[in-house]
Amino acid sequence: MSSAVSGAVNGGVSFWYADDGLPAQREPLSGNGSADVVIVGGGYTGLWTAYYLKKAAPFLRITVLEQKFCGYGASGRNGGWLYNGVAGRDRYAKLHGHEAAVRLQKAMNGAVAEVVQVTQEEGIDADVHVGGVLEVAYTPAQLARLKAFHEHELSFGEKDRELYGARETAGRIRVADAVGSTWTPHGARLHPVRLVKGLAAAVEALGVTIHERTPVTEIRPKHAVTPYGTVRAPYVLRCTEGFTASLKGQRRTWLPMNSSMIATEPLTDEQWARIGWEGRETLGDMAHAYMYAQRTADGRIALGGRGVPYRFGSRTDNDGRTQPATIEALYDILVRFFPSLTGVKVAHAWSGVLGVPRDWCATVTLDRSTGLGWAGGYVGSGVATTNLAARTLRDLVQQDSGQAGATDLTALPWVNHRVRKWEPEPLRWLGVHGMYATYRTADRRELTTHTAESSRLAQVADRIAGRH
């Protein structure tokens, strides 16, 4: 292991918790109980849903059951990209028409603004900086994809997106060999843990009951079963994302995909002067095995990408530890992007799981015959999507219980979308590992061949995985 990464803390849930402190944990459930709505999972999806439901109908008795503590999952570990991407939009355009997908996209743009606004209203200091999202290309093939991506996004109504050449890109951030970039204003950088802690506190202050250290072992109509008792409610909402496979009957519903991150030590002013990045845009690239990064409020770079993508049998978590090889790989990306940072120390490395449905489409569902609902399958874009999903779940519950009618949100094309389950093992493991190995090979080929054509390998991998 190189000396730059050998001193890094590995795990401890995430750097964000090392920075802001692990929370004191709330009391577990003690015995059977009842509620109007039970929410399983205390991440952004569960907490936003509790927040909006309680605001809309303060008389509702809402209970959140969280296996560890609120923000233990991806919501306390992510890259802090609050942005307007939503998994599956293009497939929804094929299934429901372009106009329906444009409505979904516009709702996502609104979700970014909504999160920013609510953090202000609720006094949640989540280091939010609205600098937009900048995605760079550094090979000819990436540039061709970038231009196509840019045009594609414009066609979904994003008229305020901009395309930059090499010089304009360097004016914003000096990424080695960057030949172009695309920027959207619909994005912000934030501190994930501060957001999730603030949300949990806001929800509790509204009168929602949160039980932590309370794993739900089974969800069935009107019941959430835990080792400490069962909570009965007309509505039981599953908000467990990458952990869903651990629930009875859900093993092949959403595949738990790992994503890993590193955070550097704070950079010096001289180091920042060489890089630029004064706009603090969230930063990504156009590689097949893409990276994502942010400039943190305390002057670090937090950067993520795929590690070991998926563990056999849908195993999920070990408090955020990641593989040493993944830390090295992420460090290589860091210095590939910013060669002037060679030797800078990594302070922390961690990983988390996100949920991937078989067709890679995020969804919000309420089964009106059973009162069971769920939202998730966000793949890698849940920081803003969870907010839209939660407001949609609120509307679906209100509609079903007769408190309100259909809304613009209940008519979005991702509502009540069903998809088949993942294949049993070992096909699941082989498929996902094969896909990411192929992406990495395709990226390496594009770096060495310098052609503008995207590697066919990546397209084959996409098709096998059911991505396109």
Instruction: Output the six-digit token pair for 212.
Output: 């932590």
Q: Does 392 bind ligand FAD (CB under 6 A)?
A: no
- Rounded Cα gap, residues 213 and 110, in angstroms: 34
Q: Per-residue string for binding with ligand FAD, 352-381, x by CB under 6 A?
A: xxx---------------------x-x-xx
Q: Does 314 bind ligand FAD (CB under 6 A)?
A: no
- Between 285 and 446, whose beta carbon lies closer to ligand FAD? 285
Min dist CB 166 to ligand FAD, Å, is 26
Q: Does 256 bind ligand FAD (CB under 6 A)?
A: no
* Cross-strand partners of 133: 184, 282
When binding is defined by CB under 6 A, the residue of 10, 63, 75, 326 that contacts ligand FAD is 75
Is residue 286 within 8 A of residue 145, CB to CB? The reply is yes
Q: Does 211 bind ligand FAD (CB under 6 A)?
A: no
Q: Does 66 bind ligand FAD (CB under 6 A)?
A: yes
Q: How is the beta sheet containing 223-226 ordered, strand by strand?
A: 33-34, 229-232, 223-226, 218-220
Angle between helices 98-121 and 192-206 (to 10 degrees): 80
- Rounded Cα gap, residues 280 and 266, in angstroms: 15
Could you say which DSSP state residue 342 is in? T
- Between 73 and 198, whose beta carbon lies closer to ligand FAD? 73
Min dist CB 451 to ligand FAD, Å, is 31
Q: Does 296 bind ligand FAD (CB under 6 A)?
A: no
- Between 33 and 242, whose beta carbon lies closer to ligand FAD? 242
Of 4-43, which residues contact ligand FAD (CB under 6 A)? 40-43
- Rounded Cα gap, residues 22 and 212, in angstroms: 13
* Cross-strand partners of 211: 65
Distances (CA, A) of 361 to 61, 375, 392, 414: 31, 11, 16, 8
Q: Does 80 bind ligand FAD (CB under 6 A)?
A: yes
Judged by CB under 6 A, which stretch of 67-75, 174-182, 265-273, 364-372 contacts ligand FAD? Answer: 67-75
Using alpha carbons, select from 239, 282, 297 the residue that is nearest to residue 136.
282
Number of residues that bind ligand FAD (CB under 6 A): 44
When binding is defined by CB under 6 A, the residue of 5, 38, 39, 65 that contacts ligand FAD is 65
Distances (CA, A) of 448 to 144, 279, 329, 466: 16, 31, 18, 28
Of 219-248, which residues contact ligand FAD (CB under 6 A)? 239-243, 246-247
Q: Does 438 bind ligand FAD (CB under 6 A)?
A: no
- Rounded Cα gap, residues 444 and 427, in angstroms: 26
Helix or strand (DSSP H, E) at 65: strand 62-65
Q: Does 281 bind ligand FAD (CB under 6 A)?
A: no
Q: Does 297 bind ligand FAD (CB under 6 A)?
A: no
Q: Does 187 bind ligand FAD (CB under 6 A)?
A: no
Q: Does 77 bind ligand FAD (CB under 6 A)?
A: yes
Q: Does 333 bind ligand FAD (CB under 6 A)?
A: no
CA angle 361, 142, 131 (to 5 degrees): 70
Of 82-101, which residues contact ligand FAD (CB under 6 A)? 83
Distances (CA, A) of 455 to 23, 271, 336, 441: 46, 35, 21, 9
Judged by CB under 6 A, which stretch of 28-36, 69-77, 403-411, 450-458 contacts ligand FAD? Answer: 69-77
User: Which spans of this chain sit near ligand FAD (rule: CB under 6 A)?
Assistant: 40-46, 65-68, 72-75, 77-81, 83, 215-216, 239-243, 246-247, 259, 261, 292, 304, 352-354, 376, 378, 380-383, 386
